[in-house]
Amino acid sequence: MAKKRALITGITGQDGSYLAEYLLEQGYDVIGMIRRSSTVNFERIHHIQDKVTLVAGDLLDEVSMIHLLREHRPSEVYNLAAQSFVQTSFSQPVFTGEVTGLGVTRILDAVRVVDPGIRFYQASSSEMFGKVQAVPQSETTPFYPRSPYGVAKLYGHWITVNYRESYDMYACSGILFNHESPRRGLEFVTRKITNAVARIKLGKDKELRLGNLDAKRDWGYAKDYVRAMHLMLQQDTADDYVVSTGETYSVRRFCEIAFGHVGLNYQDYVVIDERFYRPAEVDLLVGDPAKANKNLGWKPQVTFEQLVTMMVESDLAANK
């Protein structure tokens, strides 16, 4: 049987790197779309670089994606590329809209033009629930985004649904809650904390400056979540799914566990800094993963405490 072939946009990111590993394990040919930059940023994929095919393209440029889809003819496309940092979306709202919002139309339309039979996954986000209208949040909970990023993702979600309904495309929107790992970008709160814990423990830093410690998130492990993306594209019919753990913890609790793991008290090191507050906050996210559990047979395997300690241990090793 011919090998399955998948295109991943955002392969240099946290999720792209784990998804590429996972699809290689499943026997796929993996094509990774990378954007041109003046320096190479392959840290997360250098260990699999000789096993994947990297091709140039950009979500801002539909023609680039039409060309690479024509040349490589994947059977599945995973659109993970985005300006994904919520804080930056407040200072760069137009750019975020172009990439994270309109970028989805560009790639969906490229798929429609080249081969509407290609299966499509869109990386949607629990940020779309924003000021939550129900607890926990499920596929039927109304959306109320609280950031330009959340608004852009909501556009991406609905254009995915619209292309599915208009052109009968197999297009899925995965509404993923926060997922973290040792490969998480250093600007996101979890990795910012675990990296600081390691540096403080090793005597390299003295404090950690954070914003709102009372925000609550449903945090899972990125490696668990890429399995759900793949499962969504293996069903008889395309659908949208919430992917989450069903548990929620505050940033403060994350700090307690992370500092506690190395025998420190977070209150001795964390300094509240107004610069890290957001113009509008998402106070609470907790997802209901029942549909993904039932239809996809998906369940997370790593607990919150295991995730936090795994990230601290990894940052201790990296900072030594």
Choice from 171, 238, 251, 312 touching ligand G4F (CB under 6 A) = 251
Helix (H, G, I), strand (E, B) or coil at 271: strand
Interacting span for ligand G4F (CB under 6 A) from 52-60, 107-115, 181-189, 228-236: 181-189
Q: Which does 192 bind (CB under 5 to 8 A by kind): ligand NAP, ligand G4F, none?
A: ligand G4F
Distances (CA, A) of 97 to 58, 69, 82, 156: 14, 23, 10, 10
**Catalytic pick from 149, 170, 221, 241?**
149
Q: Report which of 134, 269, 123 is spatially closest to residue 210, judged by C-alpha positions.
A: 269
Q: Which does 187 bind (CB under 5 to 8 A by kind): ligand NAP, ligand G4F, none?
A: ligand G4F
**Residues that contact ligand G4F, how many (by CB under 6 A):** 24
Least distance between ligand NAP and beta carbon 306 (Å): 17
What does 281 interact with, of ligand NAP, ligand G4F, none (CB < 5 to 8 A by kind)?
Answer: ligand G4F
d(CA 293, CA 262) in angstroms, rounded, equals 35
DSSP state of 137: B
Report yes or no: 312 and 197 within 8 Å, Cβ to Cβ.
yes
For the bound state, the minimum distance from the C-beta of residue 223 to ligand G4F, rounded and expressed in Å, comes to 15
Residue 241 falls in the annotated catalytic set: no
136 cis-preceded (ω within 30 degrees of 0): yes
Catalytic residue among 125, 126, 147, 314: 125
Phi and psi of 319, rounded to 5°?
-90, -5
Catalytic-residue membership of 149? yes
Task: Check binding of 257 to ligand G4F (CB under 6 A).
Answer: no
Tokens of 47: 């260990």
- Is residue 212 close enough to count as binding ligand G4F by CB under 6 A? yes
Residue 29 CB partners (closer than 8 Å, separation 6+): 3, 4, 5, 6, 53
For ligand G4F, the binding residues (CB under 6 A) are: 84, 86-87, 125-127, 177-178, 187-190, 192, 210-212, 215, 217, 251, 276, 278, 281-282, 285
Catalytic residues, by residue number, are: 125, 127, 149
